[in-house]
């Protein structure tokens, strides 16, 4: 079942407040994920990690990351937090997991990568986080995605807790 279809708002927030040149296909839209989509989202997560993180991770490191959590991790995210998908028609091409002001996960289907889907999902999450009264977005970026977040205005936090992930944040209000 589809919940919270908000095409116009999402496309506006993905392009108008963004100084970057971002190509977002006109038919791309955003909605909340449904528990019936756990397997689809899990498969996108697997493919995204295993194929798109290899710029900075070994295949073994990528596999270890992809295998962490299994489908129950996706199920918990949908049930407890907020998972929003980007879809083209009936096909989901990316998804973002948000808990309060924290971006917990972002995955784009490899064939849809580098077309602005990840950027659009982040911009939408930033809007929701600011609307809920938070001043900062926080996240832990995998090494391969640091360049992606820097480009979107995120900075790395002074204290880093791990060599495999970079704590980053961005002010979105106040
Ligand atoms: C990181 C990720 C979400 C980016 O999604 P995307 O839809 O391809 O990103 P966009 O098309 O919006 O990228 C916009 C810009 O960000 C930069 N960018 C995107 N992916 C990048 C990467 N892997 N490394 C460096 N810069 C990147 C590019 O400058 C890109 O613009 P360009 O294509 O015109 O050069 C996607 O690569 C992915 O799912 N990776 C595997 C999972 C992952 O790392 N998730 C983040 C964990 S914190």
The residue count for the chain: 174
Give 114 Cα–ligand 1 centroid separation in angstroms: 6
pLDDT computed for residue 157 by the predictor? 83
Phi, psi of 118 (to 5 degrees): -60, -45
Find where tokens 């926080």 sit. 138
| Choice from 10, 51, 118 to test ligand 1 binding pocket (greatest atom count within 8 A of CB) | 118
Contact 130, 173 (CB under 8 A): yes
Q: 172 or 24: which carries more pLDDT confidence?
A: 172
For range 99-128, the mean pLDDT? 97
Q: How many domains does the chain have?
A: 1
| End-to-end C-alpha distance for the chain, whole angstroms | 36
Q: Kindly state whether residue 162 falls inside one of the protein's structural domains.
A: no
Beta carbon of 53 within 6 Å of any ligand 1 atom: yes
Q: Kindly state whether residue 146 falls inside one of the protein's structural domains.
A: no
Q: Kindly state whether residue 158 falls inside one of the protein's structural domains.
A: no
Beta carbon of 52 within 6 Å of any ligand 1 atom: yes
Residue ranges making up the domain that contains 62: 7-14+25-133
| Choice from 57, 123, 148, 153 to test ligand 1 binding pocket (greatest atom count within 8 A of CB) | 148
Q: Pairing state of beta strands 91-99 and 102-108?
A: antiparallel
Q: Kindly state whether residue 168 falls inside one of the protein's structural domains.
A: no
pLDDT computed for residue 69 by the predictor? 86
For range 32-50, the mean pLDDT? 97
Q: Kindly state whether residue 144 falls inside one of the protein's structural domains.
A: no
pLDDT in tens, 11-38: 333 333 444 455 667 789 999 999 999 9
pTM of the predicted model, to two decimals?
0.87
CATH number at residue 61: 3.40.630.30
Angle between the 7-15 and 117-131 helix axes, to the nearest 10 degrees? Answer: 100
Q: Kindly state whether residue 91 falls inside one of the protein's structural domains.
A: yes
Give 144 Cα–ligand 1 centroid separation in angstroms: 8
Q: Kindly state whether residue 174 falls inside one of the protein's structural domains.
A: no
Q: Quick one: what percent of the chain has pLDDT higher than 70?
A: 84
Q: Out of 42-46, 130-134, 159-163, which region has the weakest mean confidence (pLDDT)?
A: 159-163
Q: Kindly state whether residue 102 falls inside one of the protein's structural domains.
A: yes
Give 82 Cα–ligand 1 centroid separation in angstroms: 21
pLDDT computed for residue 22 by the predictor? 59
* 133: confidence class by pLDDT, cuts 50, 70, 90: very high
């Amino acid at each position: 079942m589809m919940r919270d279809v908000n095409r116009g708002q999402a496309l506006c927030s993905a392009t108008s407040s963004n100084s970057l040149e971002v190509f977002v296909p006109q038919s791309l839209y955003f909605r909340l994920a449904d528990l019936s989509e756990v397997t689809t989202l899990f498969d996108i997560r697997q493919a995204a990690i295993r194929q798109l993180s290899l710029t900075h991770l070994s295949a073994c490191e990528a596999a270890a990351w992809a295998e962490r959590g299994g489908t129950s991790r996706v199920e918990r995210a949908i049930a407890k937090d907020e998972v929003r998908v980007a879809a083209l028609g009936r096909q989901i091409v990316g998804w973002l997991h948000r808990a309060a002001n924290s971006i917990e996960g972002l995955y784009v289907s490899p064939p849809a990568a580098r077309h602005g889907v990840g950027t659009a999902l982040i911009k939408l999450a930033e809007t929701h986080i600011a609307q809920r009264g938070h001043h900062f977005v926080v996240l832990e970026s995998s090494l391969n995605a640091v360049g992606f977040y820097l480009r979107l205005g995120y900075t790395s936090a002074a204290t880093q807790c791990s060599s495999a992930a970079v704590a980053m944040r961005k002010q979105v209000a106040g």
